[in-house]
Amino acid sequence: MANIDAVKQKLGIIGSSDQLNRAIDIAIQVAPTDLSVLITGESGTGKESFPQIIHQNSPRKHAEYIALNCGAIPEGTIDSELFGHEKGAFTGAHDARKGYFEVVDKGTIFLDEVGELPLPTQARLLRILESGEYIRVGSSKVQKTNVRVVAATNVDLVKAVQNGKFREDLYYRLNTVPIKIPPLRDRKQDIHLLFRKFVVDFADKYRMPPIKLEEDAVDTLVNYRWPGNIRQLKNIAEQISVIEEKRVISKSTLLKYLPASDGANLPVLISKDQSSSFSGSIDNKEKELLYKVLFDMRKELNDLKKIVFGKVPTSNLFDVDQNLDPMINNIYQEEQQGNNYSAFPVSENNTEIQPSEEVEESLSLSDKEKEFIIKALEKHRNKRKNAAKELGISERTLYRKIKEYDIK
């Protein structure tokens, strides 16, 4: 049986945190069996490496291996893709077609974003897991397959089960052996190591000297929250390598590349009676979109203050950046108490600064979410795949949001 270090070297996995080593060890231990495995973790944590660990250390390693992104396959064709179809089963089915479960017989299939599967497809998948049987679309003949299923998701499937979006029996069948991949913020000792590996790779790729970080920049890098995890870290390493002429990067330079770095850990204030319904009504991808909306709203408030204060004598001005957070906190506190509030401070002589005109803007999260979706669609000329990537959500989630908000 392979050891952890050998697996890391073979697949190029970098890191030494206890959580990462534990996840790799579980994958190695379960590989020789035929048990179903469910890999969970945030987007960008490297979940795609673990099905390969399982396959390459299993008796099926010489058979077929295929990885599928369930969220990228349209709902109308996903059954045909997975289970195949007969000639004439639907419009455009000019010939019979084998599905992936037939092609990968005796091998391993990796179902990424399994939480995006439609309920009818979930029922078909459950039958394969329990008996190895499936039926092609448009056929009545039962066929058999011997496939090892490894699934992954960044969605909380327990909440999805509670909301009726995922079958409970399928969840327990997939979750025979769970593997939790830690987010990058919980692997602080690995962050600088990964960054150095990426900048060396990009220096070789673009034929330039590798960049280095000053000591305070390293501290900033390690303590940043990294909501996009390893994928975000790699993108920023590439951006800095290409854009910056200086090869030694300071903290101030690094901060330019860290989105919302001054507010990455801001809390979202909600009332107790709202908290349970809020957390249960949206999945992780939608939360990421809402957080993005909140950060953009924060920036707009900052810009609005600068515009307003530009009309006031300099003696009445104060540092906008220093007082922005207390102002927002006061607004939230007043809003929670049901009181009216003023977004404008009081000067030192206790004379309230009155705005020249009142600016009203909707602070509804749903309105902001709809606005961002429309902007993304316009930017990418209604190409939903590109718009979904820009928004950080799956194409199926974007399609559902378009229908929900009746976006033309």
95 and 133 share one domain: yes
CATH number of the domain that residue 60 is part of: 3.40.50.300
Which of 117, 148, 182 lies at the terminal end of a domain, its last residue? 182
Q: Check whether 268 has a pLDDT greater than 80.
A: no
218 and 163 share one domain: no
Distance CA 399, CA 389 (A): 13
Distance CA 182, CA 187 (A): 7
Query: How many other CB atoms are found less than 10 A from the CB of residue 165?
Result: 17
Model pLDDT, residue 322: 46
Work out the average pLDDT over 194-208: 95
198 and 72 share one domain: no
**Lowest model confidence (mean pLDDT) among 35-44, 79-88, 107-116, 399-408:** 399-408
Kindly state whether residue 348 falls inside one of the protein's structural domains: no
Q: Check whether 184 has a pLDDT greater than 50.
A: yes
Which of 226, 255, 284 lies at the terminal end of a domain, its last residue? 255
Determine what percent of the chain is predicted with pLDDT higher than 90.
Answer: 60
Model pLDDT, residue 264: 44
Work out the average pLDDT over 346-358: 45
Kindly state whether residue 301 falls inside one of the protein's structural domains: yes
Kindly state whether residue 355 falls inside one of the protein's structural domains: no
Which of 182, 215, 244 lies at the terminal end of a domain, its last residue? 182
CATH number of the domain that residue 212 is part of: 1.10.8.60
8 and 152 share one domain: yes
Nearest to 229 by CA among 49, 31, 6: 49
Total structural domains in the chain? 3
The pLDDT tens digits of the residues spanning 280-296 come to 445 555 666 666 667 67
Q: Which has more confidence, 376 or 18?
A: 18
Model pLDDT, residue 286: 62
Q: Check whether 249 has a pLDDT greater than 50.
A: yes
Q: Are 137 and 86 within 8 A, CB to CB? A: yes
306 and 173 share one domain: no
Q: Check whether 274 has a pLDDT greater than 90.
A: no
**Residue 303, both tokens:** 């810009």
Average pLDDT score over the chain: 82
Range of the domain at 208: 185-255
Alpha helices in 93-250 (DSSP H): 100-103, 119-131, 157-162, 168-174, 188-206, 215-223, 229-243
200 and 244 share one domain: yes
Q: Are 44 and 230 within 8 A, CB to CB? A: yes
Q: Which has more confidence, 28 or 2?
A: 28
Work out the average pLDDT over 375-384: 86
The pLDDT tens digits of the residues spanning 227-236 come to 999 999 999 9
**Residue 69, both tokens:** 């992104």
Kindly state whether residue 265 falls inside one of the protein's structural domains: no
Determine what percent of the chain is predicted with pLDDT higher than 70.
Answer: 75
303 and 178 share one domain: no
Q: Are 52 and 11 within 8 A, CB to CB? A: yes
Model pLDDT, residue 143: 95
Model pLDDT, residue 277: 42
The pLDDT tens digits of the residues spanning 35-58 come to 999 999 999 999 999 999 999 999
Kindly state whether residue 367 falls inside one of the protein's structural domains: yes
Work out the average pLDDT over 378-397: 84
Work out the average pLDDT over 358-383: 75
Kindly state whether residue 245 falls inside one of the protein's structural domains: yes
Model pLDDT, residue 371: 84
204 and 299 share one domain: no
191 and 60 share one domain: no
Q: Check whether 134 has a pLDDT greater than 50.
A: yes
27 and 169 share one domain: yes
Q: Which amino acid is at 319?
A: D
**Scanning the structure block, which residue is given the tokens 């990058």?**
184
Kindly state whether residue 352 falls inside one of the protein's structural domains: no
Kindly state whether residue 267 falls inside one of the protein's structural domains: no
207 and 178 share one domain: no
166 and 192 share one domain: no
The pLDDT tens digits of the residues spanning 308-327 come to 555 444 444 444 444 445 55
CA–CA distances in Å: residue 61 to residues 51, 105, 328, 378: 11, 12, 56, 45
